[in-house]
Amino acid sequence: MSVDTATVKKVASLARIAITDADAERLAPELNNILGWIEQLGEVDTASVEPMTAVIPNKLRLRDDVVNDGDIREAVLANAPAGEHGFFTVPKVIE
Amino acid sequence: MTQITDLGVAALRDGIRTGEFSAREVADAFIVRVSQARQLNAFIVETPEHAIAAAREADAARAAGETLKPLAGVPIGMKDLFCTKGVQTTAASHMLEGFKPEYESTVSQKLWDAGAGMLGKLNLDQFAMGSSNETSYFGNVISPWRRQDGGNAPLAPGGSSGGSSSAISARLCPAATGTDTGGSIRQPAAFTGIAGIKPTYGRCSRWGVVAFASSLDQAGPMARDVRDCAIMLEAMAGFDAKDATSLQLDVPKWEQGLNPDLRGKKVGIPKEYRVDAMPGEIEALWQQGIDWLKDAGAEIVEVSLPHTKYALPAYYIIAPAEASSNLARYDGVRYGMRELPEGANLQEMYAATRAAGFGPEVQRRILIGTYVLSAGFYDAYYTQAQKVRTLIARDFERAWLDCDLLLTPTAPSAAFALGEKSADPLAMYLNDVFTVPSSLAGIPAMSVPGGLDKDGLPLGLQIIGKPLDEQGVLNASLAIEQRAGFTARPGQWW
Amino acid sequence: MSEFRIKGATGEWEVVIGLEVHAQVTSNAKLFSGAATAFGAEPNTQVSLVDAAMPGMLPVPNRECIRQAVRTGMAIEAKINKGSRFDRKNYFYADLPQGYQISQLYHPLVGEGTIEIEVEGETKTIGVERIHVEQDAGKLMHDQHPTRSYVDLNRSGVALMEIVSKPDMRSPAEAGAYLSKLRSILRYVGSCDGNMDQGSMRADVNVSVRRPGEPFGTRTETKNVNSVRFVMQTVEIEALRQIDVIESGGTIVQETRLFDPDKGETRSMRSKEDAHDYRYFPDPDLLPLELDDAFLDECRASLPELPDAKRARYLSLGVTPYNAAVLTAEVEAARYFDALLEAGAKAPAAANWVTSELFGALNRLGRDIEDSPVSATQAAQLLGLVAEGTLSNTLAKQVFEIMLETGDDPAKIVEERGLKQTSDTGAIEAEIAKVLDANADKVAEYRSGKDKLFGFFVGQTMKAMAGKANPGVVNELLKKALDGG
Ligand SMILES: [Mg+2]
Ligand SMILES: [Zn+2]
């Protein structure tokens, strides 16, 4: 698998990271180098192996249905770069 | 006469208890020392008032004849990946510059509850991504160590917990928190001649720790010796209902259980860790470690961990994949920086914010992670990596049939110079070759100083243990520590 | 079932429909946090640090949400997966603070099940593919500010069940019946309040068309349609649009669309177009979800009688099919009716009374059956008085009206107002005699064969008795007086 600049741009767009053409040119060989090295994993026969789901045997604990959080609007909004009237605000979205 | 700042956690704790010195004296001594070492750039934020408050409380408790808390008056450093209420928490990223959490991470809260005070927030690789502390937005951390070759090349303190390792080895704090995703406690510990343990995955709560790769991230202590690590870990570990992966187990009395007598223990030497181009000095230290463990009564056996060579590539799929998703929340909406170019719409704001807020290594890993999870590649990369992870865990399980612990070098080299490897991401990644397999398997592992290389730089040995056997890991590490007699310390050039 | 076909310019078309219904799980707290779920709170007041996706925050699942989804699965006789997992669905949007939705793709909680629907008196089984549990998103508001959208995270993290049907529906009516039936089941189970106005249930409507007998065509997905009627309209409008596109030589693009009820059209949703690579992977913050037998047993034991079983039972008690359908459609009506039966009312009469008298009155008063001014116990007493002959139907109506006004028990009303029906033959015979005397001409007509006049005499007698005479006794005595005398 070889990553070209178009792929880099597509991936950067999926990841919502703005990159320039020059960035894409620089990143393509870099990512290729890393991905090429990663691809040695393909050598491993894993036909009968389950993918790992939990590193240490442990069961998912479930919470009781109790309201014990929330009602902390000030804390929730305290670090917001923009907000008014108790809302966060973002550039207007057209749906 | 020994200075207060030369003392470790146990000595400070005991000295405060016996009244040899006050907690306030301790806090002041370290606060001064921190303020004099800014050249190392180990701290992003200094919090003397926090350390003083804890000291006051300890002194007041002692004056009132109360039983002192386990870490009463001991000032520590907090890796800036732990959210601390009201104190800027950045993960060393521009993205979170100025972010003041309205909450305290479980681990840091436990330390405060144990009576510890905070000297400041320690620098690190940005979002804990790096092995040299060269990816921080707030500048490189410099190791206090220097090569004895007459050159003054600034050296990497290791990463990502490089602020922690630098600060401890420079005696700016007796102990600090670290986090370890693929070796971020152990490798910097090895580079700076200190000790550090990554406990079993699930021992320390991840709640309030800025996430890098959730299935791998574990907090742990870094300190100058094994006992201090045991004391710190006891305070940091414990069940937390707010973390669904937290282990619902009591915290063992690790300090009390310390015992360097290894008779009856079998220590495995994994042959696959003899990698190509490993420096002779590291090979020699490994052999030295074997001899020390034999001397402590352990039986040495050769074992095989056949999938070792695949651990790093598996790690560099799983960790970036999880990171690409964990870091999606940094979008400029609810906290952190926002970059809003004139006329930008929402999605453009995201892209601009994330381009400006994340450093190059973070961006690189997000891109890799996004790529390996994207349509058509998920099974070939991510699923395959998680299968290989199963095989790596199985390797360890097989090894435990033949031994109780494993001994390996911590890192394939001593500390390198800043800038030496940063141009080649892959070369940097290879630094984690010995630490990553145990991270993938979630098992406890510790680095202790073993000796110095020809340039006078520290080298570490790694003990890996069975799940939940932190005691075994600490004990074997202690056996090494006692025999290594590592007393070297960096000269104070700053 | 009669086949629904749309006539296009080039021949007949069949429409194929599948629904993905998002139903809000009834719970106090959110799926992964302890914040409240109540509707209509001030913005961002029901938001925890977890819901706001603050750095280092972690999800811990709410047992009740899992339990309700399992019970729902059991109600449609679906396969319950004892092992399931949560996955992350990654995309960027301002209503999604984490940058991913925690959902279940690879291993859902509930597997295949079925729902029976009835359209035009015929039943049909619709397959359910799966039910998975996931987080709801927050809310964006666009009208408050000229250049900004407002973000409210109160809904962020509220538990949803996504109930995915198979593409088994073939007409707007079937789609409507399916959604109504599903809503009814959810409300019986208590896993969702079914309140479509408040967004507790929304359907993504998948529609494609094909020539009868041909393979499936390309489908479109119309998002978040929030009523049964709108779902039916969406199917119809979208099918017609697709047929039009194909017949004029175009092709259908697989895309996400939006239903505009005001304009009566569906249109492409550009804002979602970019978001198709969701990069699903298992959420590393959450371990696999494993359910034990005790948990499943409790879920099963706590299931109520469901609409189909209830309807069958009502039918077996002699309730008419129409009444049985009406009484079981809404769980509150069924609960009321069951309480009536419990209190001793006889099924067919009680069913008639509920569907006519009670529903009529509630309709008039604009009240729901769950806050009916007349309790089921009181209603059973009223019906009891009719059954034992103390009240005639006419009197019962009067008493019921007073009950609605005062809330008093019927016995008290009867007692206080002397509304008791009489079967006192002496008193009735006396009134009959007076009526016959006063209407001698009609008596003659009757006796000469004009049978229809019998009703007139009954009416006159009842009037004279102020409605309190037992109609059976009046009939009998009148017959005797007119025919036998
Ligand atoms: Mg959908
Ligand atoms: Zn959904």
Same domain, yes or no: C33 and C179 = yes
Q: How many CB pairs under 8 A join A and C?
A: 139
User: Cβ–Cβ of C55/B210 closer than 8 Å?
Assistant: yes
If you average pLDDT over every residue of chain B, what do you get? 97
Q: How far is the centre of ligand 1, averaged over its atoms, from the C-alpha of B149 (Å)? A: 65
Structural domains for chain A: 5-42 (1.10.20)
User: What does the DSSP assignment read for B474-490?
Assistant: HHHHHHHHHHHT-----
Across the range C254-263, mean pLDDT stands at 93
Q: In which band, very low, low, confident or very high, does the pLDDT at C465 lie, cut at 50, 70 and 90?
A: confident
Residue B1's pLDDT is what?
Answer: 55
Catalytic residue among B93, B161, B164, B184: B184
C contacts of B102 (beta carbons < 8 Å): 49, 54
**For the residues C74-100, what does the mean pLDDT come to?**
97
Which pLDDT score, from 0 to 100, does residue C36 have? 98
Contact B328 C100 (CB under 8 A): yes
Min CA distance, B128 vs chain C (Å)?
13
User: What is the Cα–Cα distance from A28 to A13, expressed in whole angstroms?
Assistant: 14
pLDDT at C418: 78
Mark whether C100 and C177 lie in a shared domain: yes
B160 catalytically annotated: yes
Residue C157 Cα to chain centre, angstroms? 26
pLDDT of residue C275: 55
Low-confidence ranges of chain A (pLDDT < 50): none
Residue A94: predicted pLDDT:
78
Report the C-alpha gap between B127 and B80 in whole angstroms: 9
> CA C162 → CA C19, C192, C230, C263, C306, distances in Å?
10, 12, 19, 28, 20
Q: Decide if C1 is inside a domain.
A: no
CA torsion through residues B370, B371, B374, B377, sign = negative
Q: Which residues of B touch A56 (CB under 8 A)?
A: 200-202, 247, 442, 467-468
Asked if the C-beta of A47 comes within 8 angstroms of chain B's C-beta atoms, the answer is no
Partner-chain contact A79 B200, CB within 8 Å:
no
Confidence of residue B427 (pLDDT cuts 50, 70, 90): confident
Among the partner-chain residues C28, C50, C152, the one whose CB lies closest to the CB of A67 is C28
Query: A30 — contact with chain B (CB < 8 Å)?
Result: yes
* Chain B CB contacts of C53 below 8 Å: 329, 334
- How confident is the model at residue C2, as a pLDDT? 66
Chain B contact for C277 (CB, 8 A cutoff): yes
Mean pLDDT, to the nearest integer, of C241-258? 95
Radius of gyration of chain A (CA): 22
Mutation target to probe the B interface, by most B beta carbons within 10 A, among A21, A25, A56, A66 is A56
pLDDT(B354) > 80: yes
Consecutive H or E run containing B368: helix B360-373
Q: Which residues of C204-232 are buried (b: 16+ CB within 10 A; e: fewer)?
A: bbbbbbbeeeeeebebbbbbebbbbebbb
C295 touches chain B (CB under 8 A): no
User: C275 and C321: one domain?
Assistant: no
Q: What is the pLDDT of residues B296-332, one digit of tens each?
A: 999 999 999 999 999 999 999 999 999 999 999 999 9
Instruction: With respect to residue C243, please indicate whether it lies within any of the assigned structural domains.
Output: yes
What's the whole-model pTM score?
0.92
Nearest CA-CA partner of B445 in B429, B469, B428, B423: B469
Please list, in sequence order, all residues whose beta carbon lies within 8 angstroms of the beta carbon of residue C339, skipping any fewer than 6 positions away: C376, C377, C380
Q: Grade residue C169 by pLDDT with cuts at 50, 70 and 90.
A: very high
From residue B190, how far is each of B158, B216, B475 by CA, in Å?
8, 20, 18
Q: Which helix (H) or strand (E) holds B107?
A: helix B106-113
Give the minimum alpha-carbon distance from B217 to chain C in angstroms, rounded to a whole number: 10
Give the minimum alpha-carbon distance from A62 to chain B in angstroms, rounded to a whole number: 8
On whether residue C86 sits in a domain, the answer given is yes
Spell out which residues of chain C touch residue B350, defining contact as CB-CB under 8 Å: 92
Is the previous residue joined to B160 through a cis bond, with omega within 30 degrees of 0?
Answer: yes
User: Which tens digits make up the pLDDT trace of C434-461?
Assistant: 999 999 899 989 988 888 889 899 989 9
User: In chain C, how long is the greatest CA-to-CA distance?
Assistant: 98
Determine the residue among C57, C156, C277 to mutate to test chain B binding: the one whose Cβ has the most chain B Cβ atoms within 10 Å: C57
Question: Which among C417, C448, C465 is the end of a domain?
Answer: C417
Confidence (pLDDT) at C274 = 56
Chain C partners within 8 Å of B243 (Cβ): 58, 60
| Contact assignment for C48 to A72 by CB distance below 8 Å | yes
Neighbours of C159 (CB within 10 A): 28
The one-character DSSP state at B185 is: T
Cα B489 to middle of ligand 1, angstroms? 61
- Looking at per-residue pLDDT, the higher value among C175 and A2 belongs to C175
Question: Is the same domain home to C436 and C395?
Answer: no
Interchain CB distance below 8 Å, C94 and A66: no
Q: Give yes or no: residues C184 and C322 share one domain.
A: no
Shared domain for C318 and C447, answered yes or no, is no
Which of C387, C417, C447 is the last residue before a domain boundary?
A: C417
pLDDT tens-digit profile of B61-81?
A: 999 999 999 999 999 999 999
pLDDT at C272: 54
In sequence order, which ranges of A1-95 are alpha helices (DSSP H)?
5-14, 21-38, 73-77
Cβ contact, residue pair C34, A69, below 8 Å: yes
Query: Residue A95 in contact with residue B116, Cβ under 8 Å?
Result: no
Residues C120 and C266 in one domain: yes
- State the average pLDDT over residues C61-73: 98
**CA B111/CA C228 separation, integer angstroms:** 56
Find chain B residues with C-beta within 8 A of C151's C-beta: 333
**Residue ranges near ligand 1 (ion) with Cβ within 5 Å:** C 20, 204
Residues C358 and C382 in one domain: yes
The pocket of ion ligand 2, defined by CB under 5 A, consists of C 162
DSSP 8-state class, residue B336: S
Contact check, Cβ <8 Å, A89/C50: no
Task: Please tell me whether residues C94 and C144 are part of one structural domain.
Answer: yes
Active-site annotation holds for B79? yes
Sign of the alpha-carbon torsion through C394, C399, C402, C407: negative
Closest Cα of chain B to A88: distance in Å? Answer: 7
SS3 B299: strand
Contact present, C116 and B298 (Cβ < 8 Å): no
Q: What is the residue extent of each domain of chain B?
A: 1-494
Tell me which residue of B369, B431, B94, B407 sits closest to B215, measured CA to CA: B369
pLDDT at A2: 81
Question: Do C221 and C324 belong to one domain?
Answer: no
Residue C362 confidence (pLDDT) above 60 = yes
From chain C, the residues in CB contact with A75 under 8 A are 49
The answer to the question of residue C59 being in a domain is yes
Say which ligand is closest to the CA of C136.
2
Span from the CA of A61 to the centroid of ligand 1 (angstroms) = 28
Neighbours of A24 (CB within 10 A): 20
Whether residue C324 is predicted with pLDDT greater than 70 in this model: the reply is: yes
What is the per-residue pLDDT for C270?
66
pLDDT in tens, C214-246: 999 999 999 999 999 999 999 999 999 999 999
Contact predicate C390/C420, CB 8 Å: yes
CB contact under 8 A, B366 and A60: no
How far is the C-alpha of A49 from the C-alpha of A44, rounded, in Å?
A: 10
Burial of residue C183, with CB atoms counted within 10 A of its CB: 0-12 exposed, 13-18 middle, 19 or more buried: buried
Check B214 against C284: CB less than 8 A apart.
yes
Cross-chain Cβ contact C285/B245 below 8 Å: yes
Beta strands in C58-152 (DSSP E): 83-84, 87-90, 100-103, 113-119, 122-135, 139-141, 148-152
Chain A interface disruption, residue of B129, B387, B389, most A CBs within 10 A: B387
**Residues C402 and C436 grouped into a single domain:** no
Angle at alpha carbon of residue B352, lines to B346 and B357, rounded to 5°? 120
Q: What is the pLDDT of residue C303?
A: 97
Helices (H), B327-357: 346-357
Q: How many helices (H) and strands (E) does chain B have?
A: 16, 11
Of B91, B206, B245, the CB nearest to C287: B245
- The reply to whether C91 and C117 lie within a common domain is yes
Cβ-defined contact of A89 to C51 (cutoff 8 Å):
no
pLDDT at A1: 55
- Say whether B389 and A93 touch across the interface (CB within 8 A): no
Asked if A66 reaches chain B (Cβ–Cβ under 8 Å), the answer is: no
CATH code for the domain defined by B1-494 = 3.90.1300.10
Annotated catalytic residue: which of B93, B131, B160, B447? Answer: B160
Percent of chain C residues topping a pLDDT of 90: 80
C-alpha distances in Å from residue B332, one per residue of B270, B490, C268? 47, 42, 28
Q: Over 90: is that where the pLDDT of C376 sits?
A: yes
Q: Is B110 a catalytic residue?
A: no
C149 to chain B: which residues are within 8 Å by CB?
A: 346
Q: Summarize the confidence of residues C54-78 as an average pLDDT.
A: 98
Can you tell me the mean pLDDT for B474-479? 98
Domain tally, chain C: 3
Say how many Å lie between the CA of residue C173 and the centre of ligand 1: 21
* Cβ neighbours of B337 in C, within 8 Å: none
Segments forming the whole domain that contains residue C438: 425-484
Q: How confident is the model at residue C417 (pLDDT cuts 50, 70, 90)?
A: confident
> Is A62 in Cβ contact with C29 (below 8 Å)?
no
CA B418 to chain centre: 19
Read off the pLDDT of each residue in C118-130 and give the average, rounded to a whole number.
95
